[in-house]
Amino acid sequence: MDGKSIGMISQQDALSCKVYVNGIANQKGSGVGIVLISPEKITIKKSLRLDFSTTNNEAEYEALLMGMTMVQKMGGKATVMFLDSRLVVGQVKGEFESRDERMQRYLSQVGHLRSGFKSFNLLHIPRSGNTHANSLATLATSSTQGLPQVILVEDLYKSAGVERKVVHVHQVRVSLAGWIP
């Protein structure tokens, strides 16, 4: 590669939204987790409950489509997306065939949205590299009741005021008198 190509790649990456997506389906329902990082390094996190029945692979496609839609609604034209579903990434990249009719429809929708990007890159990552999006997807399925629209997560660095008394034990005496093994 020449220096110009490397410069173009670096510049393109700087203008791309990075999006980590995950979809899950379990006995409680289906959910989607999205972590979008803008080119300005602003992070947007989204947890969506799917109020319709899906398989795990369909939930993964829903996550991918929602992430793509978020980028486009924000006016983004370049994105790098990260997904831990080898099947979905393989189907989108044309490495795996999609035989199921519903999967083919999802794949078609991805292709349609993909055409709206100047640059679109989908990468498979290990599940351990997608824990934040996975946690958000799991959150969506954690309750059968509606979740609040805003969930604040805060780090506490000290106790909220309840002092813990520490008792130091210097010597312990145990009497075994009367004990029968």
> In this predicted model, what pLDDT tens digit does every residue of 8-67 receive, in sequence order?
444 445 589 999 999 999 888 899 999 999 999 999 999 999 988 899 999 999 999 999
Residue 32 tokens read as: 């989607």
Which structural domains are found in the chain, ordered by start? 3-140 (3.30.420.10)
Contact 49, 62 (CB under 8 A): no
Which sign, positive or negative, has the C-alpha torsion 44, 69, 128, 28?
positive
The Cα–Cα gap between 142 and 63 comes to 17
SS3 state at 44: strand
The single-letter DSSP state of residue 95 is S
The Cα–Cα gap between 38 and 16 comes to 7
Chain Cα centroid distance, residue 143: 18
In this prediction the pTM is 0.74
Residue 82 tokens read as: 């990260």
Single-letter code of the amino acid located at 57: N
User: 156: pLDDT confidence band, cut at 50, 70 and 90?
Assistant: low
What integer pLDDT is reported at residue 51 of this predicted model? 87
> In this predicted model, what pLDDT tens digit does every residue of 94-150 receive, in sequence order?
999 888 899 999 999 999 999 999 999 999 999 999 999 999 999 888 866 665 556
> In this predicted model, what pLDDT tens digit does every residue of 75-93 receive, in sequence order?
999 999 999 999 999 999 9
What integer pLDDT is reported at residue 98 of this predicted model? 86
What integer pLDDT is reported at residue 71 of this predicted model? 95
